């Protein structure tokens, strides 16, 4: 158990065992006043009202101090805070670099306290960041809260509403096939499903998006309904495992297979092969970045975002070539195989913005066909 996992269960108590989560200060929500999107601001208020019935603070000196910091955060918060919270709880493997928007928070603080002591404001910022991360950790590591239907609904609908209003998608849509007539299936879609739904033509073939997380399934389903696209289906589907009731002309597997050990990958590749129509194609975009992060993390593990290393899967060396060999053994005909080595310096996986990590990894593309005979 990590330090943040231990702390989050000490800082927050079940509701009615101590102090309430919200105070009058937090309920002011001055940062939401005059929001361009009042429905998004309403969702923020509604979520923390919901959490007030599920969590609280210990009635101790430390508990009262943490409660004060938490309610300062709510008072000064911004409409996108639910996006940041959901990213940390449900999709940190896709969105590792999540930070409170202190530009907004400090702007709201200056509006409320123009003469605030800079040292006090800095100390408050540290406390707000800490309590925000502890709240996300408590929901993430408490199975009862992580799987709570009300929390999932509130965060997934809030995520959907924000993207529907702003079109500020977390991931750009991958290149979608344009010359197919039969169904297209995307494996383990994740957050990229929002941009895929947005980009998919209403007169295109059937698009089937699959995922196993209720947070993703509910959000994508609501987003599809808002856009009114009837040629898109969202399926609750685990990989591997689960019954495959679809057939496809094209299957997309983008940045997913590196999450699996080789036996699981081989099982999934075999399942996809069975579901492809004769002559159908499987397109794979992937990387060994996370494998390289694990290999190199001894040099900077204490600098990685807390909680992120736990989302990584230790796959084998030679992942890329093994994937090609396993596909050939199953019966795929490899039409295209291209890879490049990348060198990057980025703070996307660092605890602190600006703390760049030097990374070297492979990115590759495979297009394979199920033979017609």
pLDDT tens digit sequence for 112-161: 888 888 899 999 999 999 999 999 999 999 999 999 999 999 999 999 99
Which residues of 190-255 form beta strands (DSSP E)?
A: 207-211, 232-236, 248-254
Phi and psi angles of residue 149, each rounded to the nearest 5 degrees, phi first: -65, -35
For residue 44, give its domain range.
3-165
Same domain, 111 and 220: no
Question: pLDDT tens, 278-300?
Answer: 999 999 999 988 878 877 766 77
Same domain, 39 and 78: yes
Is 246 exposed, middle or buried (CB count within 10 Å of its CB: 0-12, 13-18, 19+)?
middle
Same domain, 103 and 236: no
Please state, for a pLDDT cut of 90, what percent of the chain lies above it. 71
Same domain, 128 and 188: no
Lowest-pLDDT choice from 9-18, 175-184, 334-343: 175-184
Phi and psi angles of residue 50, each rounded to the nearest 5 degrees, phi first: -60, -45
Which of these three, 165, 196, 228, is where a domain ends?
165
96 — pLDDT class (breaks 50, 70, 90): confident
Average pLDDT over residues 201-209: 94
- Total residues belonging to the chain: 373
Average pLDDT over residues 211-226: 97
Judging by DSSP bridges, how do beta strands 248-254 and 184-186 pair with one another? parallel
Same domain, 244 and 149: no
Which of these three, 132, 165, 198, is where a domain ends?
165
Report the predicted TM-score, pTM, of the whole model to 2 decimal places: 0.92
Which of these three, 148, 165, 182, is where a domain ends?
165
Same domain, 181 and 132: no
CATH number of the domain encompassing residue 242: 3.40.50.150
Q: Please check the confidence at residue 98 and state whether its pLDDT lies above 80.
A: yes
Judging by DSSP bridges, how do beta strands 276-287 and 248-254 pair with one another? parallel
Overall number of domains in the chain:
2
Beta-carbon-side half-sphere exposure of residue 173 (alpha carbons within 13 Å): 15
Same domain, 118 and 44: yes
| DSSP characters over 266-313 | HHHHHHHHHHEEEEEEEEEEEE-HHHHHHHHHHHHGGGBPTTSGGG--
Same domain, 151 and 17: yes
Query: Collapsing DSSP states into helix, strand and coil, what is residue 86?
Result: helix
Same domain, 268 and 330: yes
Is 336 exposed, middle or buried (CB count within 10 Å of its CB: 0-12, 13-18, 19+)?
exposed
Q: Please check the confidence at residue 1 and state whether its pLDDT lies above 90.
A: no
Same domain, 238 and 118: no
Q: How far apart are CA 56 and CA 12, in angstroms?
A: 6
Query: Collapsing DSSP states into helix, strand and coil, what is residue 336?
Result: strand
Average pLDDT over residues 338-345: 90
| Phi/psi-derived region of residue 120, left when phi > 0, alpha when psi is between -120 and 50, beta in every other case | alpha
Judging by DSSP bridges, how do beta strands 55-57 and 19-20 pair with one another? antiparallel
Mean pLDDT of the chain: 92
Same domain, 174 and 310: yes
Same domain, 160 and 202: no
Specify the pLDDT at position 274.
93
226 — pLDDT class (breaks 50, 70, 90): very high
Average pLDDT over residues 233-245: 82
Residue for token digits 């995307």? 186
Question: pLDDT tens, 308-329?
Answer: 777 788 888 889 999 999 999 9
């Amino acid at each position: 158990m990590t330090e943040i996992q231990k702390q989050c269960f000490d800082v927050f108590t079940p509701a009615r065992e101590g102090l309430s989560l919200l105070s009058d200060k937090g309920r002011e929500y001055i940062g939401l006043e005059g929001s361009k999107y009042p429905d998004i601001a309403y969702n923020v208020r509604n979520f923390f009202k919901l959490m007030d019935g599920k969590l609280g603070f210990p009635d101790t000196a430390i508990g009262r101090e943490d409660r004060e910091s938490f309610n300062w955060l709510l008072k000064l918060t911004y409409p996108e805070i639910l996006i940041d919270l959901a990213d940390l709880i449900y999709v940190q493997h896709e969105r590792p670099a999540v930070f409170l928007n202190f530009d907004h928070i400090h702007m709201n603080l200056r509006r409320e306290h123009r003469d605030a002591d800079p040292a006090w404001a800095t100390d408050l910022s540290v406390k707000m960041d800490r309590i925000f991360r502890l709240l996300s950790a408590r929901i993430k590591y408490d199975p009862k809260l992580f799987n709570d239907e009300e929390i999932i609904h509130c965060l997934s609908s809030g995520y959907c509403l924000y993207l529907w209003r702003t079109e500020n998608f977390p991931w750009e849509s991958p290149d979608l096939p344009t010359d197919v007539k039969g169904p297209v299936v995307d494996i383990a879609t994740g957050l990229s499903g929002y941009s895929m739904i947005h980009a998919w033509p209403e007169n295109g073939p059937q698009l089937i998006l699959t995922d196993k997380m209720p947070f993703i399934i509910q959000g994508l389903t609501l987003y599809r309904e808002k856009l009114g696209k009837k040629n898109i289906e969202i399926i609750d589907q685990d990989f591997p495992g689960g019954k495959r009731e679809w057939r496809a002309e094209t299957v997309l597997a983008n940045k997913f297979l590196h999450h699996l050990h080789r036996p699981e990958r081989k099982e999934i590749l075999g399942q996809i092969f069975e579901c492809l129509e004769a002559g159908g194609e499987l397109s794979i975009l992937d990387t060994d970045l996370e494998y390289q992060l694990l290999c190199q993390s001894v040099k900077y593990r204490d600098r990685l975002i807390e909680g992120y290393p736990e989302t990584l899967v230790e796959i084998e060396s030679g992942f890329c070539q093994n994937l090609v060999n396993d596909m050939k053994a199953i019966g795929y005909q490899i039409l295209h195989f291209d890879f490049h080595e990348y060198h990057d310096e980025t703070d996307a996986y660092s605890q602190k913005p600006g703390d760049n990590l030097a990374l070297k990894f492979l990115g590759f593309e495979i297009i394979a066909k199920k033979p017609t005979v």
